[in-house]
Amino acid sequence: MAHDLHDVAVKLAREAGELIVSRRAGHIEVANTKSSDVDVVTAVDKETEEFLFRRLQELCPGDGFLGEEGQVEQSTTGVTWVVDPIDGTVNFLYNMPHYAVSIAAVTGDPTPGSWQVEAGVVFNPVTGELFHASLGQGSFLGERRLQIAKPPPMNLALLATGFAYSTAMRREQVRILAELIGEVRDIRRMGTASLDLAAVAAGRVDVYFERTLNPWDHAAGELLVTEAGGVIAGIQGFAPGARGYFCRAPHTGYSAEGKDF
Model confidence over 74-116: pLDDT tens digits? 999 999 999 999 999 999 999 999 999 999 999 999 999 899 9
Could you tell me the pTM of the whole model? 0.91
Catalytic residue among 49, 68, 210, 227: 68
The active-site residue out of 20, 86, 148, 232 is 86
| Given 42, 48, 80, 89, the catalytic residue | 89
Q: Please confirm, yes or no, whether 89 is among the known catalytic residues.
A: yes
Does position 259 have pLDDT exceeding 80, yes or no?
no
187 in active site:
no
pLDDT at 215 over 50: yes
Catalytic residue check, 87: yes
Identified catalytic residue from 45, 47, 63, 84: 84
Q: How many CB atoms lie within 10 A of CB 218?
A: 32
- Does residue 161 carry a catalytic annotation? no
Based on the residue annotation, tell me whether 68 is a catalytic residue of this protein.
Answer: yes
Say what the pLDDT of residue 261 is: 38
Domains defined along the chain, listed by start = 2-145 (3.30.540.10), 154-248 (3.40.190.80)
Mean pLDDT value across residues 199-216: 93
From 123-137, 141-155, 247-261, the region with the lowest mean pLDDT? 247-261
